[in-house]
Amino acid sequence: MTIERAGIRYKFIFLCLILFAFANVFLIQVLLVYESRENVKSEGFQDEKSEPTLKPSSTTDFSYRRIQFVSNGVDSFFKQSIFSTKHEHNFSSLLTVSPVADEVNVWNLASKWVSSSQIWPKEAPQLSHVVAALKQKKIVAADVSTKGTQLKLALVLEGGQQVLFKPKWYDRDHVITGNVYGGKDRHNGEVAAFHLARLLGLNRVPIAAMRKINLNTEILPVASKILSRTFYRKDNTTCFYGVCTYCRPTDGVCDDRRSLEGAIVLWLPQAFQLVKHRHPWQRSYSSAPAKWQMHANYCSLVKRSKKYQDESKLLNLIETSIFDFLIDNGDRHHYERFASGGPVLLIDNGKSFGNPDADHLDILAPLIQCCRVPERIVSVLTQLQNGALSSWLVKLMTTVENDTSPPILNLKHLQALDRRLKLVLSAVLKTRL
Q: Give SS3 for 10.
A: helix
- The DSSP H or E segment spanning 263 is strand 260-266
| Residue 240 · residue 232 · CB < 8 Å | yes
How many CB atoms sit inside 10 A of residue 368's CB? 24
Distance of CA 7 to the CA centre of its chain: 76
Cα 318 to Cα 246, 281, 323, 334: the distances in Å are: 30, 10, 9, 14
| Residue 143 · residue 227 · CB < 8 Å | yes
**C-alpha dihedral (353, 355, 359, 362), degrees to nearest 10:** -70
First to last CA, the chain: 64
| Residue 283 · residue 294 · CB < 8 Å | no
For residue 348, indicate whether it is catalytic: no
| Residue 66 · residue 97 · CB < 8 Å | no
The candidate with the shortest Cα–Cα distance to 376, out of 70, 38, 167, 84, is 84
Q: Is the dihedral of CA 279, 115, 264, 194 positive or negative?
A: positive
Q: Give me the amino acid identity at 399.
A: T
Q: Is the dihedral of CA 104, 107, 109, 112 positive or negative?
A: negative
**Contacts for 181 with CB less than 8 Å, ≥ 6 apart:** 283, 285, 330, 331, 351
In the set 331, 348, 362, 418, the catalytic residue is: 331
Give me the DSSP letters along 335-398: EEEETTEEEEE-----S-S--TT---GGGGHHHHHH----HHHHHHHHHTTTTHHHHHHHHHHH
State the catalytic residues. Answer: 331
